[in-house]
Amino acid sequence: MPEYKAPLRDVKFVLQELLSCESLYQQLGYEEATNDMIEAIMSEAAKFTEQVVAPLNQSGDQQGCKWEDGIVTTPDGFKDAYQQYIDGGWPTLSQSEEFGGQGLPHSLNITVSEMIIGANHSFAMYPGLSHGACATIEAHGTEEQKQTFLPQLVNGNWTGTMCLTEPHCGTDLGMLRTKAELQDDGSYSITGTKIFISSGDHDLSDNIIHIVIARLPGSPAGTKGISLFAVPKMSINDDGSVGERNGVNCGSIEHKMGINGNATCVINFDGAKGYLLGEVNRGLNCMFTFMNAARIGVANEGVGSAEAAFQGALAYAKDRLQMRSLTGPKNPDGPADPIIVHPDVRRMLLTQKTIAEGGRAFVSYLAQLVDIGHRETDAAKRKEVDTKLALLTPIAKAFLSELGFEATSHGVQIFGGHGFIKEWGMEQLMRDTKITCIYEGTTGIQALDLLGRKVLGTQGEILKPFAQEVTVFCQENYDSPAMAEFIKPIMAYAQEWQGLTETIAKKAMSNPDEVGGASVDYLMYSGYVTLAYFWARSAKVAQDKIAEGSDEVDFYQAKIQAAQFYFHRMLPRAKGHAACMVNGVDSMMAMDSDAFQF
């Protein structure tokens, strides 16, 4: 099993050097979030993930969760590790001080979360959804609801879930059957079944607060008639203590491809007492607070998985001896050369590296936008931030989850036959990571949201703030000979991005299926161009550090070389996606459904 090490040096590069977090935090009023504090937090997070969480990864996968008579038990060691997570104050890091949080920036929490994901994906999911539950209740709950739920969710004694999907409906939430009935005391009786509920039941916390969508009698059909509720697993007494079991039960846990250490549950609500969040029939709007937070979290899972796969593959590639280099022996005293000398192994390792490090920059940038949105008082600036988040969130979720899965596949491949064997741990990474392409909206759903609802739905206006940011960066560095290999391609791709948007819009006017046919290619194209921007910025920082006389020349030179690899071997993939978009939807839709046979 590969030994996970928190990527502290690259974290420092991204937060402090690339994104200038300290100056941003000071501007936003996070005065205590200095570089010294940030480094101390990350150092302690590294110790926790490496020493407590990572050792449970393989055993948790092998043992899995257990369900017996409605009771779910997590793998050995998880409960103690979760208590250490609470004792360390990690759940409170970026939560509101009003409810017991430390009030630090969200972008610090996302970095700690990435470390936990890389160390143990299954474990990371238990506290992961609680952040979305907190954000949803804080944004849409009444003052009484906030005081009831948030202190215990913030300190980690309670955890949260997101309950959307039902047996007969996946993404099409307008088909839901779970019903809510108003009671005399103002609460609601919730009845129905939800499936695929991550962390839906477990033995780690005293209570679980389910954020549930349901329909009231007489509400409109479809998504317009959805309301949102907080439904605790255990009843809550007037003094805030946990009471008797509410009408919430785990009917079973799923037997899955991966993330076996996390309980994915069927949750039955049988007249369970719930509390309305927000307005009646506005539940889906409120739920987007949770879903958008979760989608950035899933993008982060892609990054953490890519990092873990890269670490394992790199260590193996330096140690495994196979064949000789085509340019002559590199290990003349040994029977063969380490496989890292071979170009194709380098291709896979550099693909993993550019996904992990570029993705870390991308996700941290999004998390900083969230920080700005929380603290910015200027309405125009907040609108700009919200627009960038609306555009980039579906790109990050789908693109980084797809590339994260690719990175784990390369990890298996680099290990060769050993990668397919459980004891080495690489196949577990691949199994665990595939779910990120599916939950919180599949890649196809994210793509339709991006292209159909957001880009074409705004006549392309949503592209402008981020495009302007990229343009300014290119203009500032246009005359730099050292940056030419990065700036000129970005400018060309950015112009093509706009042209492709216009082309699809014109095609869609005569055939709406053109949107569905182009959407995934459009999202992936957008992802490759967006990641190119972050790699170009990284190269610029590295060049400047070398010019300043840094004593870490090897680190910064590696950044520049990784950026060059990305531009030479990864960014050109966008051209294939562009060609597919231009070729249109006709070849997809020409065959009659009955002609699909086997």
- Dist. CA 179–CA 542, nearest whole Å: 56
Pick the closest to residue 571 from 540, 522, 525, 534 (CA basis).
525
Whether 440 is catalytic: yes
- Dist. CA 297–CA 289, nearest whole Å: 13
Burial of residue 531 (number of CB atoms within 10 Å: 0-12, 13-18, 19+): buried
Structure tokens at 580: 């597919």
Pick the closest to residue 294 from 193, 150, 179, 163 (CA basis).
163
Is-contact 88 48, C-beta < 8 A?
A: yes
Q: What is the 3-state secondary structure (H, E, C) of 68-116?
A: ECCEEECCCCHHHHHHHHHHCCHHHCCCCHHHCCCCCCHHHHHHHHHHH
Is-contact 229 276, C-beta < 8 A?
A: yes
Is-contact 455 462, C-beta < 8 A?
A: yes
User: Whole-angstrom distance between the N-terminal and C-terminal Cα of the chain?
Assistant: 40
Pick the closest to residue 102 from 43, 156, 51, 163 (CA basis).
156
Sign of CA dihedral 170, 174, 176, 182: positive
Pick the closest to residue 230 from 258, 207, 253, 202 (CA basis).
207
Catalytic residue among 440, 476, 496, 514: 440
* Residues whose CB is less than 8 angstroms from the CB of residue 323 and which lie 6 or more positions away in sequence, other chains included: 336, 337, 339, 342
Q: What is the dihedral of CA 190, 194, 197, 203, to 10 degrees?
A: 50
Helix orientation angle between 513-547 and 573-583, rounded to the nearest 10 degrees: 160
User: DSSP assignment of 146-194, as one string?
Assistant: HHHHHHHHHHTSEEEEEE--BTTBSS-GGG---EEEE-TTS-EEEEEEE
263 vs 67, 110, 130, 206, 296, CA distance in Å? 9, 22, 15, 16, 21
- Dist. CA 211–CA 226, nearest whole Å: 13
* Residues whose CB is less than 8 angstroms from the CB of residue 201 and which lie 6 or more positions away in sequence, other chains included: 72, 208, 233, 250, 253, 263, 265, 267
Structure tokens at 69: 């008579």
C-alpha angle 418-420-422 in degrees, rounded to nearest 5 = 90
Pick the closest to residue 197 from 262, 122, 265, 108 (CA basis).
265
Pick the closest to residue 15 from 388, 357, 501, 496 (CA basis).
357
% helix, strand, coil for the chain, step of 5: 65, 10, 25
Pick the closest to residue 113 from 355, 313, 351, 305 (CA basis).
305
Which residues are the active-site residues?
440
